[in-house]
A and B are shown apart, each in its own frame.
Chain A
Amino acid sequence: MRKVYLDAESVDFMIVPTQDLEFVFIQTEGKCTANIKVKPVADSKFKVKIYIYAEGTSEVDCVCTLDIPKEVSGVETDIQIRSWPFDRSKIKARPEMFIKNSNIIATHGNALGTLKSEDKYYLASRGVSDYKELIKQSLLNA
Chain B
Amino acid sequence: MLKITNLSASIGNKEILKNVNIELEAGNCLLVTGQNGAGKSTLLHAIMGRPDINITGEISLAANKLHSMECHERARAGVFLAHQAPPTIDGVNTMTLLNEINKVHDMPYTRSELIAEASEKFLNMQLPNDWKKRAFNSGASGGERKKNELVQSQLFKKKTKLLLLDEPDSGLEQSSRQKIIELIEETCIAGGSVLLVTHDKELQAKYSNNKLDLSNA
Contact = CB atoms under 8 A, between A and B. Distances in A.
Q: Are chains A and B native binding partners rather than an unrelated pairing?
A: yes
Nearest to B91: A135
Contacts of A121: 50-51, 71
B65 interface: no
A119 B89 contact: yes
Contact of B87 (A111, A118, A124, A128): A118
Interface in B50-97: 50-52, 70-72, 75-76, 81, 83, 86-87, 89-93, 95-97
B102 to A, nearest CB: 10
A135 B92 CA distance: 5
B48 A137 contact: no
A3 interface: no
B100 A128 contact: yes
A90 to B, nearest CB: 18
Contact of A126 (B75, B91, B93): B75
Given A121-B50, A125-B48, A127-B105, A138 B72 contact: no
Given A134-B100, A141-B96, A116 B91 contact: no
A124 B96 contact: no
A124 B90 contact: no
Interface in A105-135: 111, 115-119, 121-129, 134-135
B76 to A, nearest CB: 5
Contact of B72 (A51, A115, A127): A127
Contacts of B71: 121, 124-125
A137 B96 contact: yes
B104 interface: yes
B93 A122 contact: no
B100 A122 contact: no
B95 A82 contact: no
B105 A122 contact: no
A142 B93 contact: yes
Nearest to B82: A125
Contact of B93 (A116, A124, A125, A138): A138
26 contacts: A82-B90, A82-B91, A84-B91, A117-B52, A118-B87, A119-B87, A119-B89, A122-B89, A123-B72, A123-B97, A124-B72, A125-B75, A125-B81, A126-B75, A128-B72, A128-B100, A128-B104, A129-B72, A134-B92, A135-B91, A135-B92, A137-B96, A137-B100, A138-B93, A141-B93, A142-B133
